Structure 1
């Protein structure tokens, strides 16, 4: 009998992970839980403190995708590498970003995606469901505590199913707990879109009702749930609901959220500020505090290989030049010369010598191709060592001499909520200009006088590039949009001729790539009639 595909780990694994990572953790301003000496199934699922520890474990499991070392921490950067805004230069991430891998149910890229996304998010939904169902029947717990436990777990279940749906389309959702009796049941068909969104909305409605506007930094709040609810509504085409949820986060008198004053503050410090809606936390010298990753290194060039410039956090830290902003994105952010998003806040455009006779001067060792009829002889080194970098994921206390660093990761933030509100109004009723222009004004860019779909796409590119949202935005806007954007702009085309031919994402893209393939190793655990996505 084939094992149920999303039940990759049973209750015993949850107990071990909770015991190892979180029950013994206690620290100020972190996801704080009291230690316990008794760790067994009765403790976890039949006691208040056990269920609280189970909820904290969901934060750890959510962070796992970023912490896994698979192919230079590909799980942290894959979605950005596949967008229309990226140039994927090298490594296995480059193969994935150029649509050379991860395009067949049986290739190694699909197997990586299975581990990093399919199994990862089903693991979270399974554990969240177990906590929810246990919390609903536990005795001796006051209603406020019970609802807080369930609300956080329901947020994680909804957020994980939402991610799976956007990647794979053909998914199965359930609210049943894994038991010894049902662990080997075979699933024969995907869930309907109606059932998927009914569960997403039900879980998020409960989370919105029972979460508070403020909590310990790192924990999800009412604002986090409303932001995701707005994103879900956008996928349903329910513009009024999306607008309502977004405006609540922006304008509700009880909402603590507001745009920070300037773009330089958005990714400053530990990201604990009014714009943050959900931040994946990592903390040094703490059991359960997360692993060192190469997320930032994937996005930053190897400028330090140039004589006279040492790696330093101000210029991005130590990088690998895997995934870089492409000419299309750089053109968008340079359209307004006053826009501060190209001023070493979100991106590092220029590098400066830190030692030697030219200290303080701009590095100019290599040149890109600017004239196709007279190409530069050093363009490959330029892309490797001198090309602009995304520096959103560098943190001040990172080690500039290491590719590996432990830093907080911004997942959701208020600037996107503003752009959701603007788009929802553009597609329904209301004036979108104040909301899109709030983001532009913060960046010192000139306000827009009109808004259409392309204006929304362009502004989301400038503000949210490399934050993992772009590919989903293109897919949500429809087949024609994602086809046009990828085939027109992905990579750098003739300006990096080493990536033409079989390495050109523009020509490798096929319309059915709008859904990721379900890996054959996962299909083999499903019923014989379970549908693979079209085209594979």
Structure 2
């Protein structure tokens, strides 16, 4: 077996993870790490920069999205539209930036004699500074940009106002371009490389380019310039030949899309995975993924009905073009669909990896009936904190989608571009290719009704690329929330989230195996006979219809303010030169 190298974030003799602004301004990262004594060897540089990997999202931040893809038993404030201005907020924390700038401003680093080694580690630090500030811009828009370590007597920087979003984004691009030019180009699923930096640049530029295009209320320039930067970064990765879409049938299920996520280690899927987070049973590095999906106490995540409706038929036609599509029962609605549907949720015939028993969706563990299986491995890992499979942070499939979307938004997309991006993802699951001319000639009315802000130019193909992105990238790094924010489609969060359709009260055998799985009842709850019981009052029509989740929560989305987060009160009080985001005052 190939040996797995696991790089752990190293915390040296003290707390390097100060998150509030007061701690950010007060000290060196540790008492034992100071410019005269540290960064004198490559080992020092490597040891210190190992810390930066802890700044990537943890397990729940990778698989636990909660926008309109995945429905849970509770609704986050940003989804329900009930956010309040917080007193403090960890998202406004600056500890990671201090640690990064501490290294970048060290004279021992600046004067390090081996130029190649020096530039590699400076490039690594600037990658993480770009990553850090990209998150800040997504959350807050304008933020103060710091490229120095701020001392307690530096009043000018301590009291600095927010810098314009455009200036911060220019600084982010300067950092990520330096990282691309100087990071190692040796392929690795656990170390940031030149290829990781290109993938991050692709993500950053698509986000910011489309944000500026659709959020005209901010009057931000250079949307097309950023989209072209996304195309260039994506194209460099695509043409490098280093990565490709994982399409092997030798994984645990023999289904390449499902196997991309359910492997215990990322090494077999390194064709596509650009960077991941390592976990290990031997080192007791575990996470909660399978417990989250299978337990009754972890929110009962389930796919939302509109997401399920978005999957095409396996011949490439639109499911929502079928007469009566909205009243089909579970067994019928999942037949002859894009294979990614049955590789992402439990459908009739589903078995756990390593087992032969066919199991139905478990309503004890899913709100909607559409129970996720993405990332799932053998039942051994279902316990609380027992999952050990590696998780994906960046992959080639996302880059292909970024490329196609950026070109479509620019108006430069061709069928040849689709053939080298979207087609590769569809080929993996034996789906027909996207036909650009046909999509533009007949935009999908179902998607037109959802995405209100897509312009007439390339409207049909942009909608199809959004469909592809939603399906391909579900439950990955909270990308759906980011997509809704940059497309200015937050209104989709206000619609009632729905699950399976049931035409009448009674018993239902979801997978037609001769055993009832669900009972829909009216009036008083009857004695249980085994199937999961759902009151008919939880259906959209009272006695029939779709399951309505969180029905007592009235969701709102304020188009004037909810695309950005509010700054915390404590920081506004500490620095009167900071101003609150629009309409949050």
TM-score w.r.t. the length of structure 1 is 0.73
Contact kept, 8 Å, 1:263 with 1:442, in 2: the verdict is yes
Q: Is it true that 1:454 corresponds to 2:463 in the alignment?
A: yes
User: After superposition, what is the alpha-carbon deviation per residue over 1:26-58, rounded to whole angstroms, capped at 9, x for unaligned?
Assistant: xxxxxxxxxxxx866644344442222111110
Task: Give me the whole-angstrom Cα distance separating, in 2, the residues matched to 1:44 and 1:524.
Answer: 36
Contact kept, 8 Å, 2:188 with 2:274, in 1: the verdict is no
Structure-1 residue corresponding to 2:418: 433
User: After superposition, what is the alpha-carbon deviation per residue over 1:239-268, rounded to whole angstroms, capped at 9, x for unaligned?
Assistant: 22211110111112xx41111002133112
Task: Give me the whole-angstrom Cα distance separating, in 2, the residues matched to 1:365 and 1:146.
Answer: 54
Structure-1 residue corresponding to 2:581: 532
Task: Give me the whole-angstrom Cα distance separating, in 2, the residues matched to 1:216 and 1:251.
Answer: 18
Cα distance 1:136–1:382, how it changes in 2: closer, same or farther (>3 A)? Answer: closer
Matches within 5 A, 1:21-420: 42-60=36-54, 62-63=55-56, 65-66=57-58, 80-81=65-66, 83-90=67-74, 94-96=75-77, 98-99=79-80, 101=82, 103-106=83-86, 111=88, 114-115=89-90, 117-119=91-93, 122-134=94-106, 137-182=109-154, 185-234=157-206, 235-236=208-209, 237=223, 238-252=226-240, 255-261=241-247, 262-267=256-261, 268-272=263-267, 273-286=270-283, 290=285, 292-298=286-292, 300-302=293-295, 320-333=298-311, 335-336=313-314, 337-344=336-343, 346-349=344-347, 360-363=357-360, 381=364, 383-384=366-367, 387-395=369-377, 399-420=381-402
User: After superposition, what is the alpha-carbon deviation per residue over 1:160-180, rounded to whole angstroms, capped at 9, x for unaligned?
Assistant: 110111122132221112334
Q: Which has the higher helix share?
A: 1
User: How far did 1:421 drift?
Assistant: 0.9
User: After superposition, what is the alpha-carbon deviation per residue over 1:472-525, rounded to whole angstroms, capped at 9, x for unaligned?
Assistant: 122222x3x332x33347565933435124x24xx3222221112223233333
Cα distance 1:4–1:215, how it changes in 2: closer, same or farther (>3 A)? Answer: closer
Contact kept, 8 Å, 2:184 with 2:193, in 1: the verdict is yes
Which has the larger Rg? 2
Instruction: Give the paired residue count.
Output: 445
Cα distance 1:201–1:95, how it changes in 2: closer, same or farther (>3 A)? Answer: closer
Structure-2 residue corresponding to 1:473: 483
User: How far did 1:150 drift?
Assistant: 0.5
Cα distance 1:187–1:4, how it changes in 2: closer, same or farther (>3 A)? Answer: farther
User: How far did 1:105 drift?
Assistant: 0.9
Task: Give me the whole-angstrom Cα distance separating, in 2, the residues matched to 1:213 and 1:338.
Answer: 39
User: How far did 1:341 drift?
Assistant: 1.3
SS of structure 2 residue aligned to 1:348: coil
Structure-2 residue corresponding to 1:372: none
Structure-2 residue corresponding to 1:14: 29
Contact kept, 8 Å, 2:405 with 2:462, in 1: the verdict is yes
User: How far did 1:417 drift?
Assistant: 0.5
Cα distance 1:393–1:498, how it changes in 2: closer, same or farther (>3 A)? Answer: closer
SS of structure 2 residue aligned to 1:411: strand
Cα distance 1:4–1:257, how it changes in 2: closer, same or farther (>3 A)? Answer: closer
Cα distance 1:218–1:365, how it changes in 2: closer, same or farther (>3 A)? Answer: closer
Cα distance 1:443–1:178, how it changes in 2: closer, same or farther (>3 A)? Answer: farther
Cα distance 1:246–1:188, how it changes in 2: closer, same or farther (>3 A)? Answer: same
Q: Is it true that 1:424 corresponds to 2:472 in the alignment?
A: no
When structure 1 is superposed on structure 2, of 394-403 and 44-53 the one drifting more is: 394-403
User: How far did 1:59 drift?
Assistant: 0.7
Cα distance 1:43–1:270, how it changes in 2: closer, same or farther (>3 A)? Answer: farther
Task: Give me the whole-angstrom Cα distance separating, in 1, the residues matched to 2:180 and 2:578.
Answer: 37
